[in-house]
Chain A
Amino acid sequence: MSFWRSAGFWINVLLVAIGGAVVLLIHQDTLRETVFTILMFVILASSLNIIMGLTGYVNFGHIVFFGLGGYFGFFLLSQLGWPLYLCMIAGGALSVVIALVVGAAVLRLRGAYFALATIGINEAARAFVANFAPFGGATGLYVNFSAYNAYGGSSKALWWIFTLLWIVTIITVVVCYLVKHSRFGLGLIAIREDEDAAMVMGVKTPWAKTAAFALSAFFPALVGTLYFFKNGNVEPEDAFRFQLSLEILVMVMLGGKGYVLGPIIGALAYERLRGVLLVSPLFKNLHLALSGAILLLIVLFMPGGLVGWVRDRLPRLRRWLE
Chain B
Amino acid sequence: MKTFMSFVVALGLAGAIILQPLGAAAADKSILIGFTASQTGKLNVEATRQINGLNLWVEQVNQAGGIKLPDGTHVKVQTKYYDDESNKERVQELYTRLISSDKADFLISPYSSGLADAAAVMAQQYNKIMITTGASSDSIFKKGYTLVYMTYTPASRYLTGALDVLLKLDPAAKKIAIIHENDKFSTDVVTALKKYAEDKGMEVPMFEGYDSGATDFAPFINKIPKGVDGVMGGGHFADTTTFARQFYEKKVPAKMLALLVAPPEPKFAELGDACIGVIGPSQWEPFATYSPEAAKAEKVEWFGPTVQDFLKLYSAKYGKEEPSYHSAGGYAAGLILQKGIEAAGSLDTDKVQAAIDKEDMYTFYGRIKFNTTPNLHGLQDGHEMIYIQWRKDKQGKPEKIAVWPASAASAAPVLRKVE
Q: Which residues of A contact B (CB under 8 A)?
A: 28-30, 32-34, 36-37, 40, 127, 130-131, 137-140, 142-146, 148, 154-155, 157-158, 230-233, 235-238, 278-279, 284-285, 287
Report whether A233 and B139 are in contact in the complex, using a CB–CB cutoff of 8 Å.
yes
Interface residue B348 (Cβ < 8 Å from any Cβ of A) = no
Instruction: Give complex CA distance A32, B99 in Å.
Output: 13
Q: Which residues of A contact B118 (CB under 8 A)?
A: 231
Closest approach, in angstroms, between the C-beta of A293 and any C-beta of chain B? 17
A232-B121, A233-B117, A284-B83 given as contacts; is B93 within 8 A of A37 (CB)? yes
Q: Which residues of A contact B114 (CB under 8 A)?
A: 235, 237-238
Interface residue B183 (Cβ < 8 Å from any Cβ of A) = yes
Closest approach, in angstroms, between the C-beta of B178 and any C-beta of chain A? 14
Closest to B118 in A: A231
Report whether B97 and A232 are in contact in the complex, using a CB–CB cutoff of 8 Å.
no
Report whether B182 and A138 are in contact in the complex, using a CB–CB cutoff of 8 Å.
yes
A145-B121, A145-B145 given as contacts; is B97 within 8 A of A127 (CB)? no
B residues 63-96 near A (Cβ < 8 Å) are: 83, 85, 88-90, 92-93, 96
B residues 88-130 near A (Cβ < 8 Å) are: 88-90, 92-93, 96-97, 99-101, 114, 117-118, 121, 124-126
Report whether B89 and A37 are in contact in the complex, using a CB–CB cutoff of 8 Å.
yes
The listed residue (B39, B85, B88) touching A231 by CB distance below 8 A is B88
Interface residue B195 (Cβ < 8 Å from any Cβ of A) = no
Report whether A231 and B121 are in contact in the complex, using a CB–CB cutoff of 8 Å.
yes
Q: Which residues of B contact A146 (CB under 8 A)?
A: 144
Q: Interface residues of B, CB < 8 Å — how many?
A: 35
Interface residue B305 (Cβ < 8 Å from any Cβ of A) = no
Report whether A130 and B97 are in contact in the complex, using a CB–CB cutoff of 8 Å.
no
Q: Which residues of B contact A (CB under 8 A)?
A: 39-40, 83, 85, 88-90, 92-93, 96-97, 99-101, 114, 117-118, 121, 124-126, 139, 142-145, 182-184, 186-188, 191, 209, 211
Instruction: Give complex CA distance A146, B143 in Å.
Output: 8
Report whether A144 and B144 are in contact in the complex, using a CB–CB cutoff of 8 Å.
yes
Q: Which residues of B contact A230 (CB under 8 A)?
A: 92, 121
Report whether A40 and B184 are in contact in the complex, using a CB–CB cutoff of 8 Å.
no
Report whether B93 and A34 are in contact in the complex, using a CB–CB cutoff of 8 Å.
yes
Closest approach, in angstroms, between the C-beta of A304 and any C-beta of chain B? 28
Closest approach, in angstroms, between the C-beta of A245 and any C-beta of chain B? 14
Report whether B143 and A145 are in contact in the complex, using a CB–CB cutoff of 8 Å.
yes
Report whether A232 and B143 are in contact in the complex, using a CB–CB cutoff of 8 Å.
yes
Could you list 26 A-B pairs, sorted by A, with CB under 8 Å?
A: A28-B100, A29-B100, A32-B96, A33-B93, A33-B97, A36-B93, A130-B182, A130-B183, A131-B209, A138-B182, A138-B209, A140-B139, A145-B143, A154-B121, A155-B125, A157-B125, A158-B125, A230-B92, A230-B121, A231-B118, A231-B121, A235-B114, A237-B184, A238-B114, A279-B83, A287-B40
Closest approach, in angstroms, between the C-beta of A310 and any C-beta of chain B? 29
The listed residue (A140, A157, A232) touching B184 by CB distance below 8 A is A140
Report whether A142 and B97 are in contact in the complex, using a CB–CB cutoff of 8 Å.
no
Q: Which residues of B contact A127 (CB under 8 A)?
A: 211
